[in-house]
Amino acid sequence: MSGSERIPLSRREGGSKVLPELASILYQFGTNAAFLLLSALGLIVILGMMNIINLAHGEFMMLGAYVASFAVHRGIPFPLAVILAFFATGAFGIVLERLVIRRFYGRELGALVTTWGISLILAQGALLLFGPYMPPIPIPGGAVSEGVFSFSVYWLILIGISIVLVVALTLVYRATPFGLQARATMQNPSIARSLGIRTGRVYMLTFGLGAGLAGLSGALLAPATSIAPFMGQQFVAPAFITVVVGGGANVIAGAVGSSTFLSLIETPVSLTLGTFYGTMALLVMALLIIRVLPAGISSLGARLRPAVAR
């Protein structure tokens, strides 16, 4: 496993046994981190930036998966279906924000109870309207093998997509006028308003973006899950853990840091002791980090470079 040698993604029997092992560990680490990051994507915006404890996050992801399944089974190619899921869930988020969420800004517990109610209505509503499951989406791409191990091409693509999405989100918030206005509004709404920023519109669009991103990741993860009314529940805990462990000093960097760190713990433990202990290790580690760094992993960076604010 010298640095110059590229990993050949082909079957090489009798060759080095370390190389496939390494590829397998890297792959598992990548999928674990991508899973956490994709689960958290919408929540990064809604919880991390707007400070709304959105318990309907999982149901937004479910909506995205439902839209994608609908679209795919009406002949629309999967990539387009994913984009459609983003806009549909985003539009739904905007409507929801106008009707309900905007009445709960600054009232965290009120928003928590409300979004919980919304999550129940959405999941049970999906069950009543569409039945207990939706037709599945076949996983695009085949598998590549390395030694005894073989890896899903689609998960490899997902790892790439999650990196692209994080970079894009950072750019939106760092390099566009909307991002500037959004950051200003979240930091101090009254001053932002006095400077002529239409804060109501910013809130609406930010919530819509968060919902849309949740729908997008729901659609992206849909082929690897069973698409059903209560599928959102599996993402809620990983999403909250990732965002909370990441912390609020720099939400996006924090989420990247926490998903990397947590899967760095989870992967080897799962591999050696089993999935049960892997999950335990992840939870214990999340607990320790919140105990030691109450403001999350991103507060480390903020401590080192105090000038960088959100």
Q: Confirm or reject binding of residue 196 to other proteins (CB under 8 A).
A: no
Please state the closest distance from residue 203 (CB atom) to other proteins, in A. Answer: 32
- Cα distance between residue 41 and residue 30, in whole Å: 16
- Cα distance between residue 82 and residue 84, in whole Å: 5
Q: Confirm or reject binding of residue 24 to other proteins (CB under 8 A).
A: yes
CA angle (105 as vertex; 104, 111 as ends), nearest 5: 45
Please state the closest distance from residue 147 (CB atom) to other proteins, in A. Answer: 9
- Cα distance between residue 144 and residue 34, in whole Å: 19
Please state the closest distance from residue 145 (CB atom) to other proteins, in A. Answer: 6
Residue nearer to other proteins on the CB measure, 21 or 293: 21
Question: What sign has the CA pseudo-torsion 94, 100, 102, 106?
Answer: negative
Strands (E), 147-207: 149-152
- For the chain, the straight-line distance linking the first and the last C-alpha, in angstroms and rounded, comes to 41
- Cα distance between residue 198 and residue 185, in whole Å: 9
Of residues 26-85, which lie at the interface with other proteins (CB under 8 A)? 27-28, 31-32, 35
- Binding-residue pattern over the window 262 to 301 for other proteins, x denoting contact by CB under 8 A: -----x--xx--xxx-xx----------------------
- Cα distance between residue 182 and residue 198, in whole Å: 10
Residue nearer to other proteins on the CB measure, 30 or 93: 30
Tokens at residue 212, please? Answer: 């849309």
Among the listed residues 252, 210, 257, the one whose alpha carbon sits nearest the alpha carbon of residue 86: 210
Please state the closest distance from residue 155 (CB atom) to other proteins, in A. Answer: 7
Q: Confirm or reject binding of residue 19 to other proteins (CB under 8 A).
A: no
Tokens at residue 75, please? Answer: 């002949």
- Cα distance between residue 130 and residue 126, in whole Å: 6
Of residues 105-124, which lie at the interface with other proteins (CB under 8 A)? 123-124
Residue in 40, 47, 68, 137 binding other proteins, rule: CB under 8 A: 137
Q: Confirm or reject binding of residue 3 to other proteins (CB under 8 A).
A: no
Q: Confirm or reject binding of residue 176 to other proteins (CB under 8 A).
A: no
- Cα distance between residue 306 and residue 295, in whole Å: 14
Please state the closest distance from residue 41 (CB atom) to other proteins, in A. Answer: 15
- Cα distance between residue 207 and residue 205, in whole Å: 5
Please state the closest distance from residue 237 (CB atom) to other proteins, in A. Answer: 7
Q: How many residues bind other proteins (CB under 8 A)?
A: 48
Please state the closest distance from residue 88 (CB atom) to other proteins, in A. Answer: 23
- Binding-residue pattern over the window 139 to 168 for other proteins, x denoting contact by CB under 8 A: x-xxxxx--xxxxxxxx-------------
Please state the closest distance from residue 161 (CB atom) to other proteins, in A. Answer: 15
Residue nearer to other proteins on the CB measure, 24 or 260: 24
Query: H or E element: which one contains 92?
Result: helix 78-99
Q: In angstroms, what is the C-alpha Rg of the chain? A: 20
Tokens at residue 127, please? Answer: 């069950």
- Which positions touch other proteins (CB under 8 A)? 24, 27-28, 31-32, 35, 123-124, 127, 131-133, 136-139, 141-145, 148-155, 223-226, 228-231, 233-234, 237, 267, 270-271, 274-276, 278-279
